[in-house]
Amino acid sequence: MSFQIVNTVQVQDMINGEDVTIIDMRDPDSFAQGHINSAQAMASIDLDHFAKSHPKDQALVLYCYHGISSQSAANWFAQKGFTRVFSMEGGFEAWPQN
């Protein structure tokens, strides 16, 4: 299993067109200052519980500050059996109107 790197336009299309979970990997203060509207903060998610209870075929998009750390997390989810895992290129810095 592996993950894909997607750009902000592709992420917006996913948000608009399908059931997708967005995970923000940044620290709680950064999340509080601004995030993608439907995003969940990684710090508030129990990863093991999430991995066991979340549908493995539902799209899962991860982002961080600049798009580097989210690739490691995306790989972790892919290794746990998630089939539609994406890391957002450029991270939150690339997100329009952040």
Q: Which residues are catalytic?
A: 64
- Report how far residue 79's alpha carbon sits from residue 18's, in angstroms, rounded to the nearest whole number: 23
Measuring CA to CA, how many Å separate 82 from each of 25, 57, 76, 86, 92?
A: 17, 6, 9, 10, 23
Edge-to-edge strand ranges of the sheet holding 20-24: 4-6, 85-88, 59-63, 20-24, 39-41
